[in-house]
Amino acid sequence: MRAWSRTFVNRHPLISPISARPCLVPWRLYSGRQLQHAMAAEQPPAKAPYKPRYVDIGINLADPIFRGRSGGKQRHPDDLHAVVQRARDVGCTKLIVTGSSFRSSRDALKLADEFPGTVYSTAGIHPCSSAIFGPQHPHHHEAADEEHTAACDPDLSKPVADEHEPDLARSAQIIADLRALVRSGSAPTDKGSSSGSSGPHRLVAFGEFGLDYDRLHFCPKSLQRHSFAAQLELVASLASPTSSSPDDDDNDNDNDNDDGGPPQPLALPLFLHSRAAHRDFVSALTAAFGPRLERLPRGGVVHSFTGTAEEARELTADLGLYLGINGCSFKTAENCDVVRDLPLDRLMIETDGPWCEVRPSHEGWRYLVEHYAGVRAREEKEAEEKQAVAVAEQAARAEAEAEVVAVAADGGGADGGSGQQTPSSAAPSANGDARRPPRKKKPQQQQQAGKKNQKVSEVPERFKSVKKEKWEEGAMVKSRNEPCNIERIAIIVAGIKGISVEQVTETAWANTIKMFGLDE
């Protein structure tokens, strides 16, 4: 049965004002906007779309490539602020900038000062930077080192570096200077707080350090093992409330007690690197902190993980470490199987930019293709449903107008006729329906139909990207991985595990905030 409401015919423009008798007017004569409001009032409010939030736990933002420099030359203007803003635009509101040498660690601290509350830093000596512990290293460890951070892929064309015993005197000085750097960087700042209290710590982890046997052309195994062990010993001594180094007495540190007493214990989580060196890596950790790392107070994350399933289980289940997943973690089907089996409560995500981007040749790329195919299918379905509703409303209005015309005609005859005719456009046809002039197809509809024929990228880019030679303001630089691409990491992890992106991002966020001690 039809729903009817009572009104006066002379209130409707299609009815002659001569007839003032009340009649029944279909509800379908309400305007489209009135109808939408009425329908919306009966429906529960729509759930607000989920806004993801990310922490990029490993981004080499101190690399000069984010200032427009590569190969020792200025290729384009400094666009670091645009890089950070693009990260914020996708919900990546916290960036942990990796320190892998004295130079990059100091630069990372400066970036934390430049972007308080967004950028945090680590400090340590990367295994590929550990040649400074050897007698053959030509420069002081504080001197300018390699301009760029080491790329993530091994270079098989480079010869393996000769093995050397560490220079113990030089090693002692390096560790003393690193101790001072860590203490100064971990002191609270006066930035980022509206209450006048101390702001967040700039330095939130010790590292990046560990072992890398894939790239021995940078540093031989012997010096890598010495560097790792010496830094682990430093971590343990900084965290101990009963032990301090004689070097602490010679340094005016921000973490010293005001009364001139010994420095306060400093426990930092570890930002670790392990590549093709799992057994030696685990042996060094357990020697320093116990067979289950029970003496490691803040835990740690093995970033850019590319190891086996067995290695992942030992690191997470036995040692309680987290694993950092980035584009290099999706290269092969075996890599993706490791991610599938990784417990969510041990997951963190990262980009490791400017390196480790997800490429079409990677096994994980297909999960991006599947995700965006699903997005397009949902959008097309919603558009079709919206169009169907519009067509149905238009048909209902036409039918309702025809019925009103018929009612008006009957009423006019009962009153003796008015002598007036209804407009020819609304005159009923032979079967009683109102004739309406055919509607012309709107140009917008034609444009939308044309767009369907255009080729759609399987994996769309959130932001325009150009080659560095054709740099333009606001665009990404091709092959320079950025923290805004972290959303791709979350999408692939969700696809591999068969769960929602929201579940991935929220769990990774919680894990990261907890271990690094970041503000929400």
Q: What is the pLDDT of residue 178?
A: 98
Q: Is residue 16 included in any domain, yes or no? A: no
**% of the chain residues with pLDDT over 90:** 64
| Structure confidence at residue 2 as a pLDDT band (50, 70, 90) | very low
Evaluate whether 481 touches 351 at the Cβ level (below 8 Å). Answer: yes
CB 357 within 8 A of CB 481: yes
Q: What is the pLDDT of residues 171-201, one digit of tens each?
A: 999 999 999 999 999 887 665 443 333 445 7
- Residue 173: inside a domain, yes or no? yes
For residue 498, the model assigns a pLDDT of 98
Q: What is the pLDDT of residues 209-260, one digit of tens each?
A: 999 999 999 999 999 999 999 999 999 999 987 655 555 544 444 455 555 6
Q: Does residue 241 belong to any structural domain of this protein?
A: yes
Q: What is the mean pLDDT of the chain?
A: 83
Q: How far is CA 37 from CA 11, 30, 34, 40, 288, in A?
A: 21, 11, 5, 5, 67
Q: How far apart are CA 489 and CA 425, in angstroms?
A: 59
pLDDT single digits (tens) 129-175? 999 999 987 766 666 555 556 666 666 566 676 788 999 999 999 99
The pLDDT-based confidence of 403 (bands split at 50, 70, 90) is confident
The pLDDT value recorded for residue 196 is 34
Give pTM, 2 decimals. Answer: 0.79
pLDDT band at 48 (very low <50, low <70, confident <90, very high): confident
Q: CA–CA separation, 487 vs 491, rounded Å?
A: 6
Average pLDDT, stretch 35-58? 77
Tell me if 413 is assigned to some domain.
no
Per-residue model confidence (pLDDT) at position 197: 33
427 part of a folded domain: no
Question: Predicted confidence band at 262 (pLDDT cuts at 50, 70, 90)?
Answer: confident
| Spatial distance between the Cα atoms of 11 and 23, rounded to a whole number of angstroms | 11
From the CB of residue 273, how many other CB atoms can be counted at a distance below 10 Å? 26
User: 472, 455, 454: which is closest to 463 by C-alpha?
Assistant: 472
**Is residue 152 one of the residues assigned to a domain?**
yes
Contact by Cβ (8 Å): 234, 175: yes
Q: What is the mean pLDDT of residues 34-45?
A: 58
The domain tally of the chain equals: 1
* Domain range for 223: 54-254+264-368+482-516
Work out the pLDDT band at 261, boundaries 50, 70, 90: low
The tens digit of pLDDT for each residue in 300-341 reads 999 999 999 999 999 999 999 999 999 999 999 999 999 999
Cβ within 8 Å of residue 207, ≥6 positions away: 98, 99, 122, 123, 124, 270, 271, 272, 273, 300
Give the span between the Cα atoms of 304 and 334, in whole angstroms: 15
Find the largest Cα–Cα distance for the chain: 118
Residues in the chain, total: 520
Confidence (pLDDT) at 3: 46
Quick one: pLDDT at residue 241?
75
With a cut of 70, say whether residue 95 has pLDDT above it.
Answer: yes
Confidence of residue 46 (pLDDT cuts 50, 70, 90): confident
Q: Verify cis geometry, omega within 30 degrees of 0, for the bond prior to 354.
A: yes
Residue pLDDT, tens place only, 110-121 = 999 999 999 999
pLDDT at 376 > cutoff 90: yes
Which CATH number characterizes residue 239's domain? 3.20.20.140
Give the pLDDT score at 487: 98
Percentage of residues of the chain with pLDDT beyond 70: 72
Q: What is the pLDDT of residue 144?
A: 55
Kind and range of the H or E element at 7? Answer: strand 4-8
C-beta of residue 252 within 8 angstroms of C-beta of residue 285:
no
Q: Is residue 219 assigned to a domain?
A: yes
pLDDT of residue 328: 98
User: What local confidence, expressed as pLDDT, does residue 17 receive?
Assistant: 46
Instruction: Name the token pair of 182.
Output: 């860590």
Please, where are the H alpha helices in 191-245?
Answer: 221-239
| 28, part of any domain | no
**447 pLDDT exceeds 70?**
no
Q: Summarize the confidence of residues 12-34 as an average pLDDT.
A: 48
Residue 231: its pLDDT value, please? 99
Amino acid at 286: T
Give the model confidence (pLDDT) of 407-440 as tens digits: 888 765 545 444 454 444 445 555 555 555 555 5
The DSSP-derived string for 97-142 is: EPP-SHHHHHHHHHHHHHSTTTEEEEE---GGGGGGGSTT--S-TT
Quick check: 496 pLDDT over 90?
yes
What region, left, alpha or beta, does residue 325 occupy, with left being phi > 0 and alpha being psi -120 to 50 degrees? beta
